[in-house]
Copies of this chain bind each other. A is one copy, B any other.
Amino acid sequence: MSAARMQVLSSRNVRLLSCGRNEVFAGRSGAQRPGGDPRTRSLTCPPLSSSSSPGRALSSLSATRRGLPKEKMSENGIMSRAKVLTIDTMNPTVKKVEYAVRGPIVQRAVELERELSEGMKKPFAEVIKANIGDAHAMGQQPITFFRQVLALCSYPELLSDSTFPEDAKSRACRILQSCGGNSMGSYSASQGIDSVRQDVARYIERRDGGVACDPDNIYLTTGASDGIVTMLKLLVCGEGTTRTGVMIPIPQYPLYSAALAELGAVQINYFLNEEKCWSLDITELQRAVNEARQYCNPRALCIINPGNPTGQVQSRQCIEDVIRFAAKERLFLMADEVYQDNVYAEGCQFHSFKKVLFEMGPEYAETVELASFHSTSKCYMGECGFRGGYMEIINMDDEVKDQLTKLLSVRLCPPVPGQALMDLVVNPPQPGEPSYGSFIKERTATLSALAEKAKLTEQVLNTVQGISCNPVQGAMYSFPRITIPEKAVKEATEKGQQPDMFYCMKMLEETGICLVPGSGFGQKDGTYHFRMTILPPTDKLKILLNKVKEFHQRFTQQYS
């Protein structure tokens, strides 16, 4: 055996040795870390010269060189250095980030799936992930036309394939002609492909009954999340009581709280009115902003409409009131409108903030700063994996716009397949084109099924004593309130768990159903909820709802 090969094997063995949890090097065991649990200590980073390590479990060895921390000799005689990057010395704002939609309960669901696949016995045959709005994973079919065009763009040799419809080919040609070298493999402009932004602008004009839209105000993004985080990033400044505050609904989609934590901005909660179907009260906005002015500088107001996780659809009147409030209080408006096609309830209709703003006349249309976000991930498309999206920016200061474009240029461009898909969403087959019929049929089928499932979910959940569910007017989720018996609350508290986390974790272990506890979205103290998607196929949804019902009854009985 050659020396080099031996060396490789030797280091490989050592590597494997260090993979276990009980290894001699700094592992996951908090108990061995010097200075106790960092989560209960302040987060300031120790200066490099602090080399004392009281309580270190391993013997210290050799000199402290130029003030660097000591090295230590492990049991197998290998010199080990303290890690550069530890939980104590990492970015403290990152540690504050939480994202319940993919939190511990989902990690446990993945584990359970693995255990099932390894033949372990469980009280269920399948894990059903109703935690996330992931339509295709739940069996929703993609729109044929969209996928045909994407295939043509990926492999343009297919343009000569006679089985592809002409309108798919012409869309593909238009997209490819806008790409450098006619390839989706080229970078696009930082703001996104010109022709796609033009198509987005025309879509918005049609949607908003003729209100003008300038393609220069359109920025293509990597999903809506990317746009939202970028806008928040621009808005954050100041320190202490002048630090930027951002108003977000409670319950909220936890991207907002996560981004604000990471940016070190102040989260200002305004509570949606569960008693009035999760609607937004202006008096509550006023209370929230008044209180917040005492400790920060409120600069932005985030709205999610249709609501995630609430499923509420805002009335035109409400949107007008919000705009007036934002103008009066000088708040930058951020309208998360990714569920704009997901409106099911009778009497409800989607109104874009942009349209309402412009219909309120120049006093508002000229002054209120608005960013509106859309995505390929929701509505009837459900194409989450492509990470397509756009934002429209209204009344943004020109210099800030330059800064925005500069900032976006650092990450070069949003994924081009996602841009192509966004183009198809805003420029779908038109009457008279060969794919029009099948497109309408597929879209209608998906949206009708969602409407049916929204109703079904509300109905079944409301038959359960101790569960109370507002109508799912839109979006893709129900967010029912659940009664958790005192005894269960006590047991959860003793375990250091939120009561609804305790509830959902128990449901997962007993039924295989993966929901997200309300605490991950925020809720009024003393109330408990969970978020459940309405996405599973109707048959499966019925089974799921029945399992939830049975679990809730069992749980209530057990703890009462």
Interface residues, chain A, CB within 8 Å of chain B?
Answer: 4-5, 7-8, 10-12, 14-16, 18-19, 25-28, 30, 44-48, 65, 68-69, 78-87, 89-92, 94-95, 97-99, 101-103, 110, 132, 134-140, 142, 147-148, 150-152, 154-155, 158, 179-181, 183-190, 209-212, 214, 222-223, 225-226, 229, 233-238, 241-242, 244, 255, 258-259, 262, 293, 297, 299-300, 327-332, 358-363, 365-367, 369, 381-387, 395-400, 402-403, 406-407, 409-418
Contacts and interface: CB of A to CB of B under 8 A. Distances in A.
Contact of A385 (B79, B135, B396, B413): B413
B412 A223 contact: yes
B409 A362 contact: no
B242 A45 contact: yes
Contact of A158 (B136, B151, B382, B409): B151
Given A384-B412, A412-B384, A78 B362 contact: yes
Nearest to A382: B185
A45 B179 CA distance: 40
A412 B47 contact: no
* Residue of A210, A414, A415 contacting most chain B CB atoms (<10 Å): A415
A368 to B, nearest CB: 8
A330 B69 contact: yes
Contacts of A65: 328
A405 to B, nearest CB: 9
Question: Lowest 6 A-B CB distances belong to which pairs?
Answer: A137-B180, A385-B416, A151-B155, A136-B183, A102-B409, A28-B398
B327 A87 contact: no
A188 B385 contact: yes
Given A242-B45, A361-B7, A366 B18 contact: yes
Given A8-B209, A11-B211, A187 B384 contact: yes
Contacts of A258: 410
Contacts of A14: 362, 365-366
A366 B15 contact: yes
A15 B369 contact: no
A97 B233 CA distance: 13
B210 A5 contact: yes
A15 B212 CA distance: 8
Nearest to A232: B91
A322 to B, nearest CB: 15
B362 A87 contact: no
A236 B410 contact: no
A523 to B, nearest CB: 20
Nearest to A299: B84
Contacts of A19: 214
Given A25-B366, A150-B155, A8 B385 contact: no
A217 B262 CA distance: 24
B237 A91 contact: yes
Contacts of A4: 209, 359
B359 A8 contact: yes
A534 B358 CA distance: 49
* Residue of A235, A236, A244, A397 contacting most chain B CB atoms (<10 Å): A397
B225 A297 contact: no
A209 B5 CA distance: 9
Contacts of A211: 8, 11-12
A403 B90 contact: yes
Given A87-B403, A385-B186, A212 B48 contact: no
Nearest to A417: B417
Given A84-B300, A222-B411, 18 more contacts: A11-B362, A14-B365, A15-B366, A45-B297, A84-B330, A85-B400, A86-B399, A95-B403, A97-B410, A134-B180, A136-B181, A150-B155, A184-B385, A184-B386, A185-B386, A223-B411, A226-B411, A387-B412
Contacts of A11: 211, 358-362, 365-366
B383 A185 contact: yes
Contacts of A293: 48
A471 B327 CA distance: 60
A134 B142 CA distance: 31
A90 B237 contact: yes
Contacts of A158: 151, 158
Given A234-B85, A415-B222, A183 B142 contact: yes
B386 A417 contact: yes
B397 A134 contact: no
A148 B417 CA distance: 15
Nearest to A83: B397
A28 B25 CA distance: 57
A455 to B, nearest CB: 23
